[in-house]
Amino acid sequence: MTDLTAYRNAARAWIESRVAEFGRDARRGLSPAEDLELGRRYLRAKYEAGYSGISWPKENGGQGLSPTEKLTFDREEILHGFPTEYFSISLGMPVPIMLRYLPDGWKQERAIAALRGDEIWCQLFSEPAAGSDLAALRTRAIQDPDTGDWVLNGQKLWTSWAHLADYGVIVARSDPGVAKHRGLTYFWVDMKAPGVTVRPVTLAAGDAHVNEVYFDDVRIPDAQRLGPVGGGFGVAMETLIIERYSATDPAANGPSIARAIADATRMTRDGRALIEDGRVRERIARNFATQAALAAIHRRALLSLEAGTQPGSEGAIHKLVSVRNRQRLSEFMIDIQGVSGVQWNEQATRKDDWATSWLTAPTGRIAGGADEMLLNTIAERILGLPQDHRPDKGVPFNEIPG
Ligand SMILES: Cc1cc2nc3c(=O)[nH]c(=O)nc-3n(C[C@H](O)[C@H](O)[C@H](O)COP(=O)(O)OP(=O)(O)OC[C@H]3O[C@@H](n4cnc5c(N)ncnc54)[C@H](O)[C@@H]3O)c2cc1C
Protein backbone atom coordinates (compact mmCIF):
# COMPACT_ATOMS: atom_id res chain seq x y z
CA MET A 1 0.00 0.00 0.00
CA THR A 2 1.44 3.43 -0.95
CA ASP A 3 1.68 6.21 1.62
CA LEU A 4 -1.03 8.08 -0.26
CA THR A 5 -3.38 5.09 -0.19
CA ALA A 6 -2.80 4.74 3.56
CA TYR A 7 -3.48 8.48 3.97
CA ARG A 8 -6.67 8.21 1.90
CA ASN A 9 -7.91 5.24 3.92
CA ALA A 10 -7.29 6.98 7.25
CA ALA A 11 -8.90 10.21 6.01
CA ARG A 12 -11.90 8.31 4.66
CA ALA A 13 -12.37 6.48 7.96
CA TRP A 14 -12.24 9.75 9.92
CA ILE A 15 -14.61 11.52 7.49
CA GLU A 16 -17.11 8.66 7.54
CA SER A 17 -17.07 8.66 11.35
CA ARG A 18 -18.25 12.31 11.21
CA VAL A 19 -21.06 11.97 8.65
CA ALA A 20 -23.84 11.32 11.17
CA GLU A 21 -22.98 14.45 13.17
CA PHE A 22 -22.05 16.87 10.37
CA GLY A 23 -23.15 15.43 7.01
CA ARG A 24 -25.92 16.51 4.64
CA ASP A 25 -28.72 14.80 6.61
CA ALA A 26 -27.60 16.32 9.93
CA ARG A 27 -27.94 19.80 8.39
CA ARG A 28 -31.49 19.38 7.12
CA GLY A 29 -33.92 21.80 8.77
CA LEU A 30 -31.26 23.84 10.62
CA SER A 31 -31.52 27.63 10.68
CA PRO A 32 -28.63 29.55 9.05
CA ALA A 33 -27.23 30.38 12.52
CA GLU A 34 -27.43 26.73 13.64
CA ASP A 35 -25.82 25.54 10.43
CA LEU A 36 -22.96 28.02 10.84
CA GLU A 37 -22.45 26.82 14.41
CA LEU A 38 -22.40 23.21 13.17
CA GLY A 39 -19.79 24.31 10.62
CA ARG A 40 -17.63 25.87 13.33
CA ARG A 41 -17.87 22.64 15.36
CA TYR A 42 -16.91 20.58 12.31
CA LEU A 43 -13.85 22.77 11.67
CA ARG A 44 -12.77 22.43 15.32
CA ALA A 45 -13.08 18.64 15.09
CA LYS A 46 -11.11 18.65 11.83
CA TYR A 47 -8.38 20.82 13.36
CA GLU A 48 -8.06 18.56 16.36
CA ALA A 49 -7.88 15.47 14.14
CA GLY A 50 -5.01 16.99 12.09
CA TYR A 51 -6.92 17.48 8.85
CA SER A 52 -6.87 21.31 8.73
CA GLY A 53 -4.38 23.31 6.69
CA ILE A 54 -3.03 20.01 5.35
CA SER A 55 -0.59 21.69 2.93
CA TRP A 56 0.18 24.72 5.17
CA PRO A 57 3.45 24.97 7.11
CA LYS A 58 3.30 23.57 10.65
CA GLU A 59 4.24 26.93 12.20
CA ASN A 60 1.00 28.35 10.79
CA GLY A 61 -1.15 25.64 12.33
CA GLY A 62 -0.98 23.37 9.29
CA GLN A 63 0.21 19.81 8.75
CA GLY A 64 3.22 20.50 6.49
CA LEU A 65 2.07 17.93 3.90
CA SER A 66 1.82 18.34 0.13
CA PRO A 67 -1.12 19.55 -2.04
CA THR A 68 -1.65 15.91 -3.00
CA GLU A 69 -2.67 14.94 0.53
CA LYS A 70 -4.90 18.01 0.70
CA LEU A 71 -6.63 17.13 -2.57
CA THR A 72 -6.97 13.53 -1.42
CA PHE A 73 -8.71 14.62 1.79
CA ASP A 74 -10.89 17.22 0.03
CA ARG A 75 -11.99 14.69 -2.57
CA GLU A 76 -13.34 12.41 0.16
CA GLU A 77 -14.83 15.28 2.18
CA ILE A 78 -16.68 16.81 -0.79
CA LEU A 79 -18.95 13.73 -1.00
CA HIS A 80 -20.80 14.30 2.26
CA GLY A 81 -22.07 17.89 2.18
CA PHE A 82 -20.36 18.98 5.41
CA PRO A 83 -20.94 22.64 6.43
CA THR A 84 -17.61 23.90 5.07
CA GLU A 85 -18.78 26.54 2.60
CA TYR A 86 -18.60 29.41 5.15
CA PHE A 87 -14.84 28.89 5.44
CA SER A 88 -13.94 28.02 1.85
CA ILE A 89 -13.00 31.54 0.73
CA SER A 90 -11.37 32.37 4.09
CA LEU A 91 -9.06 29.35 4.13
CA GLY A 92 -8.74 29.18 0.35
CA MET A 93 -7.12 32.55 -0.34
CA PRO A 94 -7.27 35.48 2.16
CA VAL A 95 -5.61 33.68 5.08
CA PRO A 96 -2.83 32.06 2.99
CA ILE A 97 -1.98 35.42 1.34
CA MET A 98 -2.00 37.17 4.73
CA LEU A 99 0.43 34.50 5.99
CA ARG A 100 2.82 35.25 3.12
CA TYR A 101 2.98 39.00 3.69
CA LEU A 102 2.53 39.85 7.37
CA PRO A 103 5.12 39.55 10.14
CA ASP A 104 5.08 36.53 12.50
CA GLY A 105 3.01 36.38 15.71
CA TRP A 106 -0.38 37.95 15.08
CA LYS A 107 -0.72 36.23 11.73
CA GLN A 108 -0.28 32.75 13.27
CA GLU A 109 -2.98 33.51 15.84
CA ARG A 110 -5.35 34.55 13.03
CA ALA A 111 -4.47 31.49 10.96
CA ILE A 112 -5.23 29.07 13.79
CA ALA A 113 -8.47 30.92 14.62
CA ALA A 114 -9.48 30.61 10.95
CA LEU A 115 -8.51 26.93 10.75
CA ARG A 116 -10.63 26.24 13.84
CA GLY A 117 -13.57 28.09 12.29
CA ASP A 118 -13.55 30.72 15.07
CA GLU A 119 -12.82 33.55 12.62
CA ILE A 120 -13.74 34.06 8.98
CA TRP A 121 -12.05 36.17 6.28
CA CYS A 122 -13.59 37.44 3.06
CA GLN A 123 -12.13 38.59 -0.25
CA LEU A 124 -13.11 42.10 -1.32
CA PHE A 125 -12.06 42.30 -4.96
CA SER A 126 -15.13 42.69 -7.22
CA GLU A 127 -17.00 45.95 -7.61
CA PRO A 128 -20.02 47.05 -9.66
CA ALA A 129 -17.73 47.95 -12.60
CA ALA A 130 -14.85 45.57 -11.88
CA GLY A 131 -15.43 41.83 -11.87
CA SER A 132 -13.79 40.07 -14.78
CA ASP A 133 -11.57 43.12 -15.20
CA LEU A 134 -10.30 43.49 -11.63
CA ALA A 135 -7.90 46.28 -12.62
CA ALA A 136 -10.94 48.50 -13.40
CA LEU A 137 -11.81 48.88 -9.71
CA ARG A 138 -12.68 52.31 -8.30
CA THR A 139 -12.57 51.99 -4.50
CA ARG A 140 -10.07 54.68 -3.46
CA ALA A 141 -7.31 54.43 -0.86
CA ILE A 142 -5.76 57.82 -0.03
CA GLN A 143 -2.83 58.01 2.35
CA ASP A 144 -3.03 60.58 5.16
CA PRO A 145 0.37 62.35 4.97
CA ASP A 146 0.34 63.08 8.74
CA THR A 147 -0.34 59.60 10.13
CA GLY A 148 0.49 57.33 7.19
CA ASP A 149 -2.98 55.75 7.61
CA TRP A 150 -5.00 54.96 4.49
CA VAL A 151 -8.58 56.18 4.08
CA LEU A 152 -10.82 53.84 2.09
CA ASN A 153 -13.94 54.94 0.19
CA GLY A 154 -15.98 52.91 -2.27
CA GLN A 155 -18.14 49.86 -2.82
CA LYS A 156 -17.42 46.17 -3.24
CA LEU A 157 -19.95 43.67 -4.60
CA TRP A 158 -20.61 39.91 -4.51
CA THR A 159 -18.41 39.48 -1.43
CA SER A 160 -19.06 35.92 -0.24
CA TRP A 161 -19.65 35.57 3.52
CA ALA A 162 -18.81 39.26 4.24
CA HIS A 163 -21.78 39.32 6.66
CA LEU A 164 -20.02 36.66 8.77
CA ALA A 165 -16.46 37.86 8.28
CA ASP A 166 -14.15 39.24 10.95
CA TYR A 167 -11.49 40.35 8.46
CA GLY A 168 -11.12 40.79 4.73
CA VAL A 169 -8.46 41.34 2.10
CA ILE A 170 -9.11 44.27 -0.22
CA VAL A 171 -7.62 45.89 -3.30
CA ALA A 172 -8.10 49.64 -3.80
CA ARG A 173 -6.92 52.34 -6.19
CA SER A 174 -4.16 54.38 -4.61
CA ASP A 175 -3.02 56.19 -7.78
CA PRO A 176 -5.50 56.95 -10.59
CA GLY A 177 -2.80 58.77 -12.61
CA VAL A 178 -1.03 55.60 -13.85
CA ALA A 179 -2.08 52.61 -15.98
CA LYS A 180 -4.92 50.72 -14.33
CA HIS A 181 -2.85 47.70 -13.21
CA ARG A 182 -0.16 49.84 -11.65
CA GLY A 183 -2.22 52.12 -9.41
CA LEU A 184 -3.61 49.52 -6.99
CA THR A 185 -2.63 48.69 -3.40
CA TYR A 186 -3.61 45.67 -1.30
CA PHE A 187 -4.59 45.70 2.41
CA TRP A 188 -6.28 43.64 5.06
CA VAL A 189 -9.24 45.25 6.77
CA ASP A 190 -11.13 44.70 10.02
CA MET A 191 -14.73 44.11 8.91
CA LYS A 192 -15.99 45.56 12.22
CA ALA A 193 -14.10 48.88 11.72
CA PRO A 194 -16.15 52.12 11.75
CA GLY A 195 -17.40 53.00 8.25
CA VAL A 196 -17.76 49.39 6.98
CA THR A 197 -21.36 48.51 6.03
CA VAL A 198 -22.35 45.04 4.81
CA ARG A 199 -25.65 44.49 2.97
CA PRO A 200 -26.60 40.95 1.98
CA VAL A 201 -27.87 40.34 -1.58
CA THR A 202 -30.52 37.64 -1.94
CA LEU A 203 -29.92 35.32 -4.90
CA ALA A 204 -32.58 33.63 -7.06
CA ALA A 205 -32.76 30.48 -4.90
CA GLY A 206 -33.32 32.56 -1.75
CA ASP A 207 -29.85 32.27 -0.20
CA ALA A 208 -27.98 35.43 0.71
CA HIS A 209 -24.33 34.55 1.10
CA VAL A 210 -23.05 37.33 -1.14
CA ASN A 211 -23.02 40.97 -0.10
CA GLU A 212 -22.53 44.58 -1.06
CA VAL A 213 -19.90 46.15 1.17
CA TYR A 214 -19.53 49.92 1.54
CA PHE A 215 -16.43 51.72 2.81
CA ASP A 216 -17.02 55.26 4.08
CA ASP A 217 -13.84 56.94 5.32
CA VAL A 218 -12.55 53.67 6.77
CA ARG A 219 -9.11 54.31 8.27
CA ILE A 220 -6.55 51.57 8.12
CA PRO A 221 -2.95 51.78 9.34
CA ASP A 222 -0.13 51.35 6.83
CA ALA A 223 0.89 48.19 8.74
CA GLN A 224 -2.21 46.57 7.22
CA ARG A 225 -0.77 46.92 3.72
CA LEU A 226 0.22 43.68 1.97
CA GLY A 227 2.94 44.27 -0.61
CA PRO A 228 4.23 47.54 -2.05
CA VAL A 229 2.21 50.69 -2.69
CA GLY A 230 1.06 50.38 -6.32
CA GLY A 231 1.81 46.62 -6.30
CA GLY A 232 -1.71 45.49 -5.39
CA PHE A 233 -2.53 43.92 -8.74
CA GLY A 234 0.40 41.53 -8.40
CA VAL A 235 -0.66 40.53 -4.87
CA ALA A 236 -4.24 40.04 -6.12
CA MET A 237 -3.03 37.73 -8.91
CA GLU A 238 -0.92 35.82 -6.39
CA THR A 239 -4.03 35.48 -4.19
CA LEU A 240 -6.07 34.08 -7.05
CA ILE A 241 -3.55 31.41 -7.95
CA ILE A 242 -2.79 30.21 -4.40
CA GLU A 243 -5.29 27.40 -4.70
CA ARG A 244 -3.90 26.28 -8.04
CA TYR A 245 -5.91 23.14 -8.09
CA SER A 246 -8.82 22.32 -5.84
CA ALA A 247 -10.83 19.14 -5.43
CA THR A 248 -13.57 18.96 -8.00
CA ASP A 249 -16.82 17.17 -8.23
CA PRO A 250 -17.62 16.03 -11.80
CA ALA A 251 -21.28 16.74 -10.95
CA ALA A 252 -20.21 20.38 -10.24
CA ASN A 253 -22.00 20.32 -6.91
CA GLY A 254 -25.28 19.21 -8.40
CA PRO A 255 -27.04 15.84 -7.97
CA SER A 256 -25.03 12.83 -9.12
CA ILE A 257 -25.58 10.63 -12.18
CA ALA A 258 -26.58 7.82 -9.79
CA ARG A 259 -29.34 10.10 -8.55
CA ALA A 260 -30.50 10.83 -12.11
CA ILE A 261 -30.68 7.09 -12.84
CA ALA A 262 -32.53 6.38 -9.59
CA ASP A 263 -35.06 9.17 -10.27
CA ALA A 264 -35.64 8.11 -13.88
CA THR A 265 -36.12 4.51 -12.71
CA ARG A 266 -38.68 5.56 -10.10
CA MET A 267 -40.62 7.95 -12.33
CA THR A 268 -43.15 6.52 -14.74
CA ARG A 269 -45.09 7.65 -17.79
CA ASP A 270 -48.02 5.61 -19.16
CA GLY A 271 -47.15 2.89 -16.67
CA ARG A 272 -43.53 2.51 -17.82
CA ALA A 273 -40.38 3.63 -16.02
CA LEU A 274 -38.83 6.66 -17.73
CA ILE A 275 -35.47 4.95 -17.75
CA GLU A 276 -36.91 2.55 -20.34
CA ASP A 277 -37.21 5.46 -22.77
CA GLY A 278 -34.14 5.48 -25.02
CA ARG A 279 -34.13 9.31 -25.17
CA VAL A 280 -33.91 9.54 -21.37
CA ARG A 281 -31.14 6.97 -21.27
CA GLU A 282 -29.27 8.80 -24.01
CA ARG A 283 -29.35 12.15 -22.19
CA ILE A 284 -28.15 10.60 -18.95
CA ALA A 285 -25.44 8.62 -20.75
CA ARG A 286 -24.16 11.72 -22.56
CA ASN A 287 -23.92 13.57 -19.27
CA PHE A 288 -22.12 10.62 -17.73
CA ALA A 289 -19.61 10.58 -20.61
CA THR A 290 -18.80 14.25 -20.04
CA GLN A 291 -18.40 13.69 -16.29
CA ALA A 292 -16.09 10.74 -16.97
CA ALA A 293 -13.93 12.96 -19.21
CA LEU A 294 -13.81 15.62 -16.47
CA ALA A 295 -12.79 13.00 -13.92
CA ALA A 296 -9.95 11.98 -16.27
CA ILE A 297 -8.77 15.61 -16.55
CA HIS A 298 -8.82 15.87 -12.77
CA ARG A 299 -6.92 12.60 -12.37
CA ARG A 300 -4.27 13.85 -14.78
CA ALA A 301 -3.87 17.06 -12.77
CA LEU A 302 -3.53 15.01 -9.58
CA LEU A 303 -0.85 12.84 -11.18
CA SER A 304 1.12 15.89 -12.32
CA LEU A 305 0.97 17.25 -8.76
CA GLU A 306 2.19 13.90 -7.43
CA ALA A 307 5.03 14.03 -9.96
CA GLY A 308 6.01 17.46 -8.59
CA THR A 309 4.85 19.56 -11.56
CA GLN A 310 2.03 22.10 -11.64
CA PRO A 311 -1.14 21.27 -13.60
CA GLY A 312 -1.78 23.74 -16.43
CA SER A 313 -4.95 25.61 -17.35
CA GLU A 314 -7.14 22.47 -17.44
CA GLY A 315 -8.97 23.82 -14.35
CA ALA A 316 -10.61 26.31 -16.76
CA ILE A 317 -11.96 23.44 -18.89
CA HIS A 318 -13.17 21.58 -15.81
CA LYS A 319 -15.07 24.54 -14.42
CA LEU A 320 -16.54 25.65 -17.73
CA VAL A 321 -17.78 22.21 -18.76
CA SER A 322 -18.83 20.82 -15.39
CA VAL A 323 -21.16 23.68 -14.41
CA ARG A 324 -22.77 23.78 -17.87
CA ASN A 325 -23.18 20.00 -17.73
CA ARG A 326 -24.85 20.22 -14.32
CA GLN A 327 -27.19 22.96 -15.56
CA ARG A 328 -28.14 20.88 -18.60
CA LEU A 329 -28.83 17.67 -16.63
CA SER A 330 -30.80 19.57 -13.96
CA GLU A 331 -32.97 21.19 -16.63
CA PHE A 332 -33.60 17.82 -18.26
CA MET A 333 -34.51 16.15 -14.96
CA ILE A 334 -36.93 19.01 -14.14
CA ASP A 335 -38.43 18.63 -17.59
CA ILE A 336 -39.14 14.89 -17.34
CA GLN A 337 -40.81 15.33 -13.96
CA GLY A 338 -43.52 17.46 -15.54
CA VAL A 339 -45.26 20.00 -13.29
CA SER A 340 -43.86 18.47 -10.09
CA GLY A 341 -40.35 19.26 -11.36
CA VAL A 342 -40.80 22.93 -10.57
CA GLN A 343 -42.14 22.39 -7.05
CA TRP A 344 -40.02 24.52 -4.73
CA ASN A 345 -38.55 23.05 -1.56
CA GLU A 346 -36.79 25.64 0.59
CA GLN A 347 -34.98 22.99 2.60
CA ALA A 348 -33.51 21.29 -0.46
CA THR A 349 -29.88 21.67 -1.46
CA ARG A 350 -28.37 21.87 -4.93
CA LYS A 351 -26.80 18.47 -4.39
CA ASP A 352 -30.09 16.69 -3.81
CA ASP A 353 -32.71 18.67 -5.71
CA TRP A 354 -32.84 19.27 -9.47
CA ALA A 355 -34.76 22.58 -9.24
CA THR A 356 -32.36 24.04 -6.65
CA SER A 357 -29.40 22.83 -8.67
CA TRP A 358 -30.77 24.43 -11.85
CA LEU A 359 -31.57 27.73 -10.13
CA THR A 360 -28.12 28.03 -8.55
CA ALA A 361 -26.11 26.95 -11.62
CA PRO A 362 -25.96 30.43 -13.24
CA THR A 363 -24.02 31.92 -10.30
CA GLY A 364 -21.66 28.96 -10.61
CA ARG A 365 -21.08 30.02 -14.21
CA ILE A 366 -20.07 33.52 -13.06
CA ALA A 367 -18.23 33.14 -9.73
CA GLY A 368 -14.54 32.35 -9.96
CA GLY A 369 -14.39 33.28 -13.65
CA ALA A 370 -17.37 33.75 -15.97
CA ASP A 371 -17.78 31.26 -18.85
CA GLU A 372 -16.54 33.76 -21.43
CA MET A 373 -13.42 34.52 -19.39
CA LEU A 374 -12.69 30.80 -19.12
CA LEU A 375 -13.12 30.51 -22.88
CA ASN A 376 -10.55 33.32 -23.24
CA THR A 377 -8.17 31.41 -20.94
CA ILE A 378 -8.62 28.23 -22.95
CA ALA A 379 -8.14 30.13 -26.23
CA GLU A 380 -4.99 31.94 -25.11
CA ARG A 381 -3.25 29.46 -22.79
CA ILE A 382 -4.29 26.08 -24.12
CA LEU A 383 -4.86 26.77 -27.82
CA GLY A 384 -2.21 29.50 -28.07
CA LEU A 385 -4.52 31.93 -29.88
CA PRO A 386 -3.67 35.65 -29.91
CA GLN A 387 -4.56 37.77 -26.86
CA ASP A 388 -7.89 39.55 -26.66
CA HIS A 389 -7.98 43.19 -27.87
CA ARG A 390 -7.05 45.43 -24.89
CA PRO A 391 -7.54 49.08 -25.96
CA ASP A 392 -6.92 50.49 -22.44
CA LYS A 393 -3.50 48.86 -22.07
CA GLY A 394 -0.97 51.38 -20.74
CA VAL A 395 -3.52 54.24 -20.61
CA PRO A 396 -3.61 56.15 -17.26
CA PHE A 397 -6.73 55.05 -15.35
CA ASN A 398 -8.14 58.57 -15.11
CA GLU A 399 -8.00 58.92 -18.93
CA ILE A 400 -10.09 55.77 -19.58
CA PRO A 401 -13.69 56.77 -20.41
CA GLY A 402 -15.85 55.78 -17.35
C1 LIG B 1 -21.91 33.51 -6.08
C2 LIG B 1 -20.80 34.50 -6.30
C3 LIG B 1 -19.83 34.67 -5.32
C4 LIG B 1 -18.81 35.61 -5.50
N5 LIG B 1 -17.90 35.81 -4.49
C6 LIG B 1 -16.97 36.78 -4.61
C7 LIG B 1 -16.08 37.08 -3.53
O8 LIG B 1 -16.12 36.47 -2.45
N9 LIG B 1 -15.20 38.10 -3.68
C10 LIG B 1 -15.11 38.81 -4.84
O11 LIG B 1 -14.27 39.70 -4.92
N12 LIG B 1 -15.94 38.56 -5.89
C13 LIG B 1 -16.86 37.57 -5.80
N14 LIG B 1 -17.73 37.31 -6.85
C15 LIG B 1 -17.65 38.13 -8.06
C16 LIG B 1 -17.13 37.41 -9.26
O17 LIG B 1 -15.73 37.23 -9.16
C18 LIG B 1 -17.52 38.26 -10.47
O19 LIG B 1 -18.95 38.27 -10.53
C20 LIG B 1 -16.95 37.72 -11.75
O21 LIG B 1 -15.56 37.95 -11.77
C22 LIG B 1 -17.60 38.37 -12.98
O23 LIG B 1 -17.54 39.75 -12.88
P24 LIG B 1 -18.84 40.67 -13.11
O25 LIG B 1 -19.97 40.06 -12.33
O26 LIG B 1 -18.43 42.09 -12.80
O27 LIG B 1 -19.17 40.54 -14.62
P28 LIG B 1 -18.50 41.35 -15.82
O29 LIG B 1 -17.03 41.38 -15.68
O30 LIG B 1 -19.24 42.65 -15.95
O31 LIG B 1 -18.86 40.41 -17.01
C32 LIG B 1 -20.21 40.25 -17.43
C33 LIG B 1 -20.19 39.38 -18.66
O34 LIG B 1 -19.53 40.12 -19.70
C35 LIG B 1 -18.76 39.26 -20.50
N36 LIG B 1 -17.35 39.68 -20.52
C37 LIG B 1 -16.73 40.56 -19.68
N38 LIG B 1 -15.43 40.70 -20.00
C39 LIG B 1 -15.21 39.90 -21.08
C40 LIG B 1 -14.06 39.60 -21.87
N41 LIG B 1 -12.88 40.19 -21.65
N42 LIG B 1 -14.21 38.69 -22.86
C43 LIG B 1 -15.40 38.09 -23.10
N44 LIG B 1 -16.52 38.34 -22.40
C45 LIG B 1 -16.43 39.23 -21.41
C46 LIG B 1 -18.97 37.89 -19.95
O47 LIG B 1 -20.08 37.36 -20.61
C48 LIG B 1 -19.39 38.08 -18.53
O49 LIG B 1 -20.16 37.01 -18.10
C50 LIG B 1 -18.74 36.36 -6.71
C51 LIG B 1 -19.71 36.18 -7.70
C52 LIG B 1 -20.73 35.27 -7.51
C53 LIG B 1 -21.76 35.11 -8.59
Whole-number Å distance, alpha carbon 197 to ligand 1 midpoint, is 22
Q: Give pLDDT, residue 233.
A: 97
Residue 244, pLDDT above cutoff 80: no
The average pLDDT across 131-152 equals 97
Residue bearing the CA closest to ligand 1, atom 36:
372
Is 378 close to ligand 1, i.e. is its CB under 6 Å away?
A: no
Q: How far is the CA of 177 from the centre of ligand 1 (A)?
A: 25
Average pLDDT, the chain: 94
Atom 16 of ligand 1 has which residue's CA nearest to it?
367
Nearest atom of ligand 1 to the alpha carbon of 366:
53
Question: Is there an atom of ligand 1 within 6 Å of 367 CB?
Answer: yes
Alpha-carbon torsion, ordered 40, 43, 47, 50, to 10 deg? 160
Measured from the Cβ of residue 52, the count of other Cβ atoms closer than 10 Å reads 24
Does any ligand 1 atom lie closer than 6 A to the CB of residue 53? no
CA of 212 to the centre of ligand 1 (A): 14
Q: How far is Cα 34 from Cα 32, in angstroms, rounded to an integer?
A: 6
Reply yes or no on whether the pLDDT at 144 is more than 80: yes
- For residue 374, the CA-to-ligand 1 centroid distance in Å is 11
> Above 70 in pLDDT, residue 1?
no
Between 3 and 42, the higher pLDDT residue: 42
Each residue's pLDDT tens digit, 273-306: 999 999 999 999 999 999 999 999 988 888 888 8
* Per-residue model confidence as pLDDT tens digits over 183-220: 999 999 999 999 999 999 999 988 899 999 999 999 99
Contact yes or no for 341/334 (Cβ under 8 A): yes
Quote the pLDDT of residue 388.
84
Q: Determine the residue of 89, 93, 126 to mutate for testing ligand 1's pocket, defined as the one with the most ligand atoms within 8 A of the Cβ atom.
A: 126
What pTM does this model have? 0.95
134 alpha carbon – ligand 1 mean position (Å)? 9
* pLDDT recorded at residue 90: 98
Query: What average pLDDT does the segment 4-31 reach?
Result: 95
For 117, what's the count of Cα atoms within 13 Å in the CB-facing half-sphere? 22
Cα(286)–Cα(288) distance, integer angstroms? 5
Q: Which residue, judged by its Cα, is nearest atom 40 of ligand 1?
A: 373
276 phi, psi to nearest 5 deg: -75, -15
Mean pLDDT of 108-130: 97
What does the pLDDT read at residue 2? Answer: 77
Query: Which residue's alpha carbon is at the smallest distance from atom 26 of ligand 1?
Result: 131
Nearest-CA residue for ligand 1 atom 49 is 370
* Interatomic CA distance for residues 54 and 15, integer angstroms: 15
What is the pLDDT at residue 94?
A: 98
pLDDT bin (cut points 50, 70, 90) of residue 365 is very high
pLDDT at 45 over 80: yes
**Residue 223 alpha carbon to ligand 1 centre in Å:** 30
pLDDT-wise least confident of 135-144, 245-254, 256-265:
245-254
pLDDT of 264 reads 97
HSE value, Cβ hemisphere, 13 Å, CA-based, for 292: 6
